[in-house]
Structures are given as structure tokens and as C-alpha cells.
């Protein structure tokens, strides 16, 4: 990336793990709720609920819920190769997760793209999601490498209407 662009951003982090383990943590209900979400439901292309350990596939849909946020996110799995790449719709845009083994560790490359360029999307999606993914990738690293979660799961942060803007561990 040569300069700031509102329609996309990229985040990277090295994690001491295997591609297989990290793919499982992104591509299954059991995996993604262990470090990221309070609840996730995946349905296959026919609308049938998937097993908690089953990997997502192309055209599956999802409903996600976070700790300390009452809303939900809904989207579609656009690409899932079963080993090192996922792509899904998210917040009016798309997100890809690419896992690459390098020198005995894995680099996680997250791209959010096709972000609308209106002022609200610049703030809510580009700025908001960019900050959010920075935290969640750090949380993933802490979980995988040290067995801890950095996000708040016990204290109700929703009592403060600005909590999503001021707490770094939502």
C-alpha cells in the first residue's frame, strides 16, 4: 500500500502456531467463539445449521454476536478453501484472511476491502474496523501463544453508551 486508501486496509501479525490450527480458529463455530465472539452460527447454502466443529464453505452464511455489544453481524462466506484462505462479507464490505507459514511461524494477513467511501463508512468501517481488527488479531495471538483472552467477558461494558469508542478490549 503506497498511501492511505479509504476503500481498503490491511493488517498483519505473526503468530507462533500452525496454519491448520489458525484456520480452525477462523473457520468453525467452536474455533471463532474461543477467542473472538460470544456466539456464532453458521448455516450451509441450504439453510441448515452447521456442526460447531465443521469448517465453513463457500456460500455458507453466518450470524455473529460479540461480548459487550447487543448487535449482530450477518454475512456470507464467499471463499473458504479448507486450509489457508477465507473471504466473507462484513459490515458492507469484504474481509479476507490469508494464512502463510514463514520461518516456523504463521503470518495472518487480514484485508478489509470494497469499503464504501462515504463519510459514515470512512468512520464506521475503515476507521472503526481497522482499530477493531488490530485488537482482535492481538487477542488471537495472546490466545494462541499464551492461552489468555484480552477482551472483556465478565464486566458489562455496555452500561456506557460510548464504551465501543473508549474501551480497547470490547
pLDDT of residue 84: 98
Tell me the per-residue pLDDT of 21-75, one tens digit each, with 9 for 90 and over: 999 999 999 999 999 999 999 999 999 999 999 999 999 999 999 988 888 999 9
pLDDT of residue 105: 97
Tell me the per-residue pLDDT of 84-116, one tens digit each, with 9 for 90 and over: 999 999 999 999 999 999 999 999 999 999 999
Please give the model's pTM, rounded to 2 decimal places.
Answer: 0.94
Tell me the per-residue pLDDT of 110-167, one tens digit each, with 9 for 90 and over: 999 999 999 999 998 998 899 999 999 999 999 999 999 999 888 888 777 777 777 7
pLDDT of residue 164: 72
Confidence check: pLDDT of 1 > 60:
no
Using an 8 Å Cβ cutoff, are 90 and 78 in contact?
Answer: no
Residue 42: exposed, middle, or buried by beta-carbon count in 10 A (0-12, 13-18, 19+)?
buried
Using an 8 Å Cβ cutoff, are 90 and 80 in contact?
Answer: no
Alpha helical stretches, state H, the chain: 19-27, 29-35, 119-121, 128-146, 163-166
Domains and CATH numbers, the chain: 14-166 (3.30.530.20)
Residue carrying the nine cell digits 474496523 = 129
CA distance linking residue 22 with residue 140, whole number of Å = 9
111-120 per-residue burial string, b: 16 or more CB within 10 A, e: under 16: bbeebbeeee
> In angstroms, what CA-CA distances link 88 with 8, 92, 147?
14, 11, 27
Using an 8 Å Cβ cutoff, are 22 and 98 in contact?
Answer: no
pLDDT of residue 154: 84
Amino acid at each position: 500500500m503506497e498511501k492511505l486508501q479509504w476503500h481498503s486496509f490491511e493488517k498483519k501479525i505473526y503468530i507462533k502456531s500452525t496454519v491448520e490450527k489458525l484456520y480452525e480458529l477462523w473457520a468453525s463455530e467452536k474455533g471463532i467463539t474461543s477467542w473472538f465472539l460470544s456466539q456464532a452460527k453458521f448455516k450451509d447454502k441450504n439453510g441448515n445449521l452447521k456442526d460447531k466443529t465443521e469448517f465453513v464453505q463457500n456460500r455458507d452464511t453466518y450470524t455473529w454476536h460479540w461480548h459487550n455489544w447487543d448487535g449482530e453481524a450477518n454475512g456470507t462466506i464467499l471463499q473458504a478453501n479448507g486450509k489457508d484462505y477465507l473471504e466473507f462479507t462484513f459490515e458492507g464490505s469484504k474481509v479476507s484472511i490469508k494464512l502463510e507459514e514463514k520461518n516456523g511461524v504463521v503470518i495472518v494477513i487480514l484485508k478489509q476491502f470494497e469499503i464504501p467511501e462515504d463519510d459514515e463508512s470512512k468512520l464506521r468501517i475503515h476507521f472503526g474496523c481497522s482499530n477493531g481488527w488490530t485488537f482482535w488479531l492481538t487477542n488471537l495471538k495472546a490466545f494462541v501463544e499464551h492461552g489468555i483472552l484480552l477482551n472483556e467477558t465478565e464486566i458489562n461494558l455496555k452500561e456506557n453508551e460510548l464504551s465501543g469508542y473508549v474501551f480497547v478490549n470490547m
